[in-house]
Amino acid sequence: MITIKEQKNLEDLIDTFPVMNQLRTDLDKDTYLKYLDEMIKQGYKVFALYNDGNIMAVAGVIILTNFYYGRHVWVYDLVTHSDYRSNGYGEILLEFIHKWGEENGCKIVALSSGLERKDAHRFYEKKMGYEKPSYVFKKEL
């Protein structure tokens, strides 16, 4: 049975680490929890998709407002456990995020995806109907 639940307590957040770490491979558990503490204070939320009690996919999102998207959901993280990809879990979780965003007054869901993640780009554009309106730039300080 598939369920999606916001991870609110420390134990649930710790349970998401093994899946999130498949996307954010540079994080160790302590750094993950330290960043989570700060991010949650800023409004970041973690949702996990469970199948028969096991976490299959995780999403980290926040509601933001800016001039170009207005009030929107920004998806910082979306990852399906590597053993269970191509089973529809990412699609189910992202559709949940779309509905959650609408329920919270958002008209857009936006995200950024690394240039090397070609399979993810195909998923977002072909399967989920996302468009690619811009590039994201960064500069390390």
> Does the global pTM surpass 0.95?
no
User: What phi and psi values does residue 123 have, to the nearest 5 degrees?
Assistant: -60, -50
> CATH classification of 2-128 is 3.20.20.70, yes or no?
no
Residue 43 has pLDDT above 90, yes or no: yes
Task: Answer whether 44's CB lies under 8 Å from 83's CB.
Answer: no
Task: Answer whether 61's CB lies under 8 Å from 45's CB.
Answer: yes
What 3-state DSSP class applies to 47? strand
pLDDT score at 115: 78
Residue 119 has pLDDT above 90, yes or no: no
Give the model's confidence band at 113: pLDDT under 50 very low, under 70 low, under 90 confident, else very high.
Answer: confident
Burial 21-41 (b: 16+ CB within 10 A, else e): bebeeebeeeebeeebeeebe
pLDDT score at 83: 95
End-to-end CA, the chain: 46
